[in-house]
Structure 1
């Protein structure tokens, strides 16, 4: 059972809209090595786990898979923020939607020349479950062999490749909104690499000779270095309200990253930051709930409440 806290796992730094960066980030969301893939792969592995003696490994997969749900939320929200509005459009919500506003651009003209036009035609300036080329996310990517060592090796490769791709996307854009999320995910991918590497070590697998972690030198990115200095690459959260997770039996000792840090798994979840709803997009005809719709909702609710009261009204006592 999962509970949702209405907070984002990391802050999204505000900056100008950037649909090209938004489309690049789609690879990190719905691509073969993106957050939707890791979320589904680890949760399916945990659900299909066999053997009660391996509970610490199941709990580790489940904890990371649960965190990946928050990563899907984070990167999807970031894509929406990068699409939220149009550069050079300086109009107001009440301006005519078919004319440039106050000397700026036509509201959605950037959709014709930048990245994925479906962000505007289909998604009302929002994220979609696709990769950077617009291909839908594919459930056949999920790897669940039933063999613990094979699954852990595949998961380590998946995190390594995902981190490598995010480093590339980071170097494609200077947008602060994109980089704030990319930096966080780069560091957390390293934490998950450490988790699966440590799990393999406890099983006697010398993963370093067959699957070295890519030398991305991500610490040269200033936003990444701040998080590494906080030791975020060496923490793993349980996301377990009952305290029953045994993932800490594996995620302990010195980090496989050889950065001199010690692995820590004693936190339930990060504090996160407030989650806010994006403003209405009138140029997308996505205004949310207008006055007429609110009135209709209220009238419908009153009718339903009246029916319920009539059905469950207490029976008058006999005289």
Structure 2
């Protein structure tokens, strides 16, 4: 089973909307080497895993795959924040939907020339399961051979390529919202590279000569350097509520990154940060609820929470 904690795995720094950066981030979400790919690939490998004696490797795949779900949530929310309010975010929420915004712009004028017009036409200024060119995410990208060594080699290549692409996206924008998420994912990609590299080493595979990890010098990025100083590249979470994960049997010892750190898999999950729902977008008619509907929703929510409160106490 999977449980959802309503917190984001990392903080998204506030900045101005940037539809162009949002579209670049779509590659990191729905591209061939994006977070949807890693999520599906590792989870399917763990679902189809065979051989009970190799349980630590299954647990490692499952832990990383579960983390990737939170990465999909993080990058999708970031794309929404980069689009949220564009292009009339300085207008008043009480204005009619066709009132000109900042600088006299009509509500969705920017959509014609910035980023991906489908962000505005189809997704109400939100993320979509597509790449930066608008191509739908493709399930055929998922590699699940059933052979543990082949899968681990492929996963190491996938994380390395994903980190390389995120470094390129980082260089495309100075938007703090985009960079806060990109930097976090760069460092966590390195942690997952370390995980698959260590797993291959434990199987006697000399991956350094067969598949060297590309050097990106990502530590020069200030946001990345701060996370590296916290040792985030050398942690792997279990996301296991029953303390049965054996991934720590693999994710241990000196880091394959040769950065002087030791791998640690003792934490269940990161603390995370509060998750906040984005404001309404009146020009998109999103969510498009009037006062009577909002009152009905609130009343329904209170009714649904009654059995929860009676069983577990008040929900805060």
What is the TM-score with the length of structure 2 in the denominator?
Answer: 0.93
Q: Does 1:175 align with 2:159?
A: no
Residue 262 of structure 1 corresponds to which residue in structure 2? 262
Check conservation: 2:87, 2:108, Cα contact below 8 A. no
In structure 1, stretches of 5+ residues that fail to align are: 303-319
Q: Does 1:243 align with 2:238?
A: no
Residue 79 of structure 1 corresponds to which residue in structure 2? 79
- Structure of larger gyration radius: 1
Distance in 2, matches of 1:260 and 1:297, equals 53
Check conservation: 1:167, 1:186, Cα contact below 8 A. yes
> What is the correspondence of 1:70-149 to structure 2 with a 5 Å cutoff?
70-87=70-87, 89-101=89-101, 103-149=103-149
- Structure 1 residues 208 and 301 mapped into 2: Cα distance closer, same or farther (>3 Å)? closer
Q: Report the 3-state secondary structure (helix = DSSP H, G, I; strand = E; otherwise coil) of the residue aligned with 1:75.
A: helix
Q: Report the 3-state secondary structure (helix = DSSP H, G, I; strand = E; otherwise coil) of the residue aligned with 1:15.
A: coil
Distance in 1, matches of 2:104 and 2:90, equals 5
Per-residue deviation, 1:102: 5.9
Residue 42 of structure 1 corresponds to which residue in structure 2? 42
> What is the correspondence of 1:199-278 to structure 2 with a 5 Å cutoff?
199-278=199-278
Distance in 1, matches of 2:24 and 2:298, equals 42
Per-residue deviation, 1:88: 5.9
Distance in 2, matches of 1:217 and 1:127, equals 29
Runs of 4 or more consecutive aligned structure 1 residues displaced over 4 Å after TM superposition: 295-302
- RMSD between superposed Cα atoms in Å: 1.9
Check conservation: 1:89, 1:105, Cα contact below 8 A. no
Distance in 1, matches of 2:298 and 2:193, equals 50
- Structure 1 residues 295 and 152 mapped into 2: Cα distance closer, same or farther (>3 Å)? same
Distance in 1, matches of 2:29 and 2:213, equals 21
- 1:178-230 per-residue CA deviation (whole Å, 9 max, x = no partner) reads 00000000000000000000000000000000111110000000000000011
- Structure 1 residues 301 and 159 mapped into 2: Cα distance closer, same or farther (>3 Å)? closer
Distance in 2, matches of 1:6 and 1:160, equals 29
Q: How many residues are treated as equivalent by the alignment?
A: 304
Q: Report the 3-state secondary structure (helix = DSSP H, G, I; strand = E; otherwise coil) of the residue aligned with 1:60.
A: helix
Check conservation: 2:88, 2:102, Cα contact below 8 A. no
Residue 6 of structure 1 corresponds to which residue in structure 2? 6
Check conservation: 1:29, 1:76, Cα contact below 8 A. yes
Distance in 2, matches of 1:51 and 1:15, equals 48
Task: Say which is worse superposed, 107-116 or 60-69, in terms of deviation.
Answer: 107-116
- 1:53-96 per-residue CA deviation (whole Å, 9 max, x = no partner) reads 00000000000000000000000000000000124653212223
- Structure 1 residues 81 and 149 mapped into 2: Cα distance closer, same or farther (>3 Å)? same
